[in-house]
Amino acid sequence: MDIDIRALDPEHFDAFHAALAAAFSGGLSPEELELERKIAEFNRVLAAYDGEEIVGGAVACSFELTVPGGIVPAAGVTAVGVKPTHRRRGVNTALMRRQLDDIRERGLEPLAILYASEGDIYPRFGFGTATWMTEISIERDRTRFAPGYSASGRVRLLEREPALVAISSVYDRVRLRGNGLLARSIDWWNLIIRERPHGEEDSGRLFYAVHEGADGPDAYAAYRVKHDWPGEIPGNTLKVDELIADSPQAYADMWRFVFDVDLVAKIECWNRPVDDPLLHMLVEPRRLRMQVRDGLLLRVVDLPRALTARRYAVQERLVLEVRDPFCLWNEGRYELESSADGSARCRATSEPADIGLTATELGSVYLGGVGFRDLHRAGRLVEERSGALARADAMFAADPAPWCANMF
């Protein structure tokens, strides 16, 4: 097709989102559209034009991603869609081609990250599942903690403005030592933690609970309550938008508060870490009904920079043979050598490979949430030298498991 892909003129912002609304068979409220406008970097908003009609788009956002041992600039890919009238004609591929080329030419971000509406779309562009997320749903009367817990500190309910000051300080402390978390500007806070328009499934007033320990705020929960009173009996569902804590004690205290809110029959949360301590805190962990699903997808854009930007758990050496047909500049054989302090160097080599893999698998293992041996057992990569997979897993190991609290 004769499709022209170019940066969006700010005057066409509403038309751009109308095209995305058609692509996803939905749309944004006027309030949500204004929040999106505030975070838009228009030189990174790509629109696909068929004549004067916008038929698709793709957006990149400038993020800072916490990785094992450091913080790395990352391009957050979002709002990728094509109108139903123009699908299966290569528009999405052309958008991804232009976007990844732009990210590379910009030279600031060795990584690209995204959430996929469908899991089979992005592996062909070199994105691999790098984090997992869990959903939980538990009856309030089944939330008893295992013996040994005792409460500490106090919890206060705050209005939005003072709450954002407290919770952003907690989030930033946790982010800096986390894995997979993103820095947030005030505009991103307003987009992620916000009131929902009345009538949406998760609409309802948002409450901000802040836990205070000896040194001040150290945990928070943002939640809303969906009301249901069958036969005048409270059957309400408390839905946790986000719960973050700076210590194990504060984490337990914050969940205890959430579990003990009156007139609630069930507590739900749909984005929790795969290694959530709740599994070990409850007497009946099966009552969480925990379901695991794919989370953040990651793509290495600049391979040497990406591999030297993170830290490694052991001093080791690997030779990786990487196939990357969509971004040929990454393709080749690389020696990755880590030092005792966790830093590493990465350079092209002609030495025999230890492991053969594609850019998709490299994206999956990058944060340490997916193991080389896991992918080998799934037939996704090749061990060229005996023992290389064990060495690679020891090298890329990370704790905690990667988790991204942002949806974008």
230 Cβ contact partners less than 8 Å away, ≥ 6 residues apart: none
pLDDT band at 1 (very low <50, low <70, confident <90, very high): low
Asked if residues 213 and 194 have their Cβ atoms less than 8 Å apart, the reply is: no
The pLDDT tens digits of the residues spanning 191-232 come to 999 877 555 555 679 999 999 999 999 999 999 999 999 999
| Spatial distance between the Cα atoms of 193 and 183, rounded to a whole number of angstroms | 14
- Angle (deg, nearest 10), helices 13-24 and 30-39: 120
| Apex 64 CA angle, 60 and 67, nearest 5 | 120
Which strand (E) or helix (H) includes residue 13? helix 13-24
pTM (2 decimals)? 0.94
* Position 298, amino acid: L
- Which residue in 49, 63, 122, 312 is the catalytic one? 122
Q: Is 122 a catalytic residue?
A: yes
Q: What pLDDT shows up at residue 200?
A: 55
- Which residue in 63, 259, 366, 408 is the catalytic one? 408
The pLDDT tens digits of the residues spanning 321-374 come to 999 999 999 999 999 999 999 999 999 999 999 999 999 999 999 999 999 999
* Position 136, amino acid: I
105 Cβ contact partners less than 8 Å away, ≥ 6 residues apart: none
Q: Which residue has the higher pLDDT, 27 or 283?
A: 283
The token duo for 90 is 């290569």
Least confident of 167-176, 199-208, 315-324, 394-403: 199-208
The pLDDT tens digits of the residues spanning 80-116 come to 999 999 999 999 999 999 999 999 999 999 999 999 9
Mean predicted lDDT score pLDDT of the chain: 96
397 Cβ contact partners less than 8 Å away, ≥ 6 residues apart: 313, 314, 368
Q: Is 366 a catalytic residue?
A: no
The pLDDT tens digits of the residues spanning 286-302 come to 999 999 999 999 999 99
Please state the φ and ψ torsions of residue 360, each to the nearest 5 degrees. -65, -45
